[in-house]
Amino acid sequence: MEEPNIQTSNNQYSLKSPFVITIPLLKISSGDSNRDSHIQEILGYPDSPNILVKIESVNVIKEKTYTIKGKLTIHGNTKEFTTDASVSPEDSNLINVDGSFIVKFSEYELENPSLLFMKAKDEIRIKYLFQIKLK
């Protein structure tokens, strides 16, 4: 992950420049290794080994809640996304960011996962939790 340039003022955070988060597909885990290998294949592994998340803007909605806008690249297809996130300090140099958003397989030209003869829904909720180290 690139070093994000995040400034703090009055217990609020602001993004000074875009940054990219790289998510290796082999690190995606649902707790079921068979399901994980199937979803990794659907998402493009090994041809596209990473998902890229470009964070372009972060705006405060209310205390500790922010709207994040950016671009999500899966298997070479890039789409804009917006998500609301809860942001809380872990300590003076570390913040936790967590939230979720919906991704549609069809928007990224991906096949829907299936189990036997049943196809999954076209959309899945992506939950995220990550930490950012402040400069």
Contact indicator for 54, 71 with CB cutoff of 8 Å: yes
CA distances (Å), origin 58, targets 53, 66, 83, 104, 107: 13, 6, 10, 23, 24
pLDDT of 38 above 80:
yes
Q: What is the pLDDT of residue 2?
A: 63
Which CATH class, in words, describes the domain spanning 5-133? Answer: mainly beta
Residue 84: which H helix or E strand, with range? strand 77-91
* Residue spans per domain, the chain: 5-133
Q: What is the pLDDT of residue 53?
A: 96
pTM of the prediction? Answer: 0.87
Q: How far apart are CA 41 and CA 75, in angstroms?
A: 10
State which amino acid sits at residue 14. S
